[in-house]
């Protein structure tokens, strides 16, 4: 089984409920178990956009799913939570956003899926959450 780190974010509606739905849905995936979850933190929208603040959290999963299958499940969970993707507006507000941040030690660059996530170096909150979930590994 592979250790995978998935970031959750929400800035529309009942943000806490959307994160809870995301955690529960990820934990219920086949051949997958949720190992731990970081604290929830509130952050400003990326790029200084005029949007509501986000709640962010990261979870650590163990899974036998391959990265592409996990991505499809993440997108399905987002849709179930009411997310509508606007391909012309990548940074729109969302009920739930699920990003695969790290998938074991895999380095991958395919259309629609880059691992580790290319945003990791620029998102301090992801770095804090990842450190929180991996501090027992040392």
Rounded distance, CA 10 to CA 13, Å? 8
Cβ distance 76 to 121 under 8 Å?
no
Rounded distance, CA 9 to CA 131, Å? 17
Catalytic choice (94, 105, 122, 138)? 94
Catalytic choice (15, 60, 97, 102)? 97
Cβ distance 10 to 18 under 8 Å?
yes
Verify whether residue 64 is a known catalytic residue: no
Catalytic choice (2, 3, 62, 99)? 99
Q: Which of 53, 50, 23 is nearest to 41 (CA)?
A: 53
Verify whether residue 94 is a known catalytic residue: yes
pLDDT in tens, the chain (138 residues): 999 999 999 999 999 999 999 999 999 999 999 999 999 999 988 766 678 999 999 999 999 999 999 999 999 999 999 887 766 666 677 899 999 999 999 999 999 899 999 999 999 999 999 999 998 554
Provide the CATH number for the domain formed by 2-137 in this structure: 3.30.70.560
Q: Whole-prediction pTM value?
A: 0.93
Verify whether residue 97 is a known catalytic residue: yes
């Amino acid at each position: 089984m592979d250790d995978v780190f998935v970031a959750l974010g929400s800035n529309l509606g009942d943000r806490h409920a959307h994160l809870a739905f995301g955690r529960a849905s990820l934990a219920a995936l086949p051949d997958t178990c949720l190992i731990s979850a970081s604290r929830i933190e509130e952050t400003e929208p990326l790029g200084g956009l005029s949007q509501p603040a986000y709640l962010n959290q990261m979870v650590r999963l163990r899974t036998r799913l391959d990265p592409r299958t996990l991505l499809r499940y993440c997108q399905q969970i987002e849709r179930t939570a009411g997310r509508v993707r606007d391909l012309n507006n990548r940074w729109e507000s969302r009920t739930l956003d699920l990003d695969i941040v790290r998938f074991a030690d895999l380095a991958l660059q395919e259309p629609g899926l880059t691992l580790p996530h290319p945003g990791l170096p620029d998102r301090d909150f992801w770095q804090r959450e990842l450190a929180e979930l991996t501090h027992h590994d040392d």
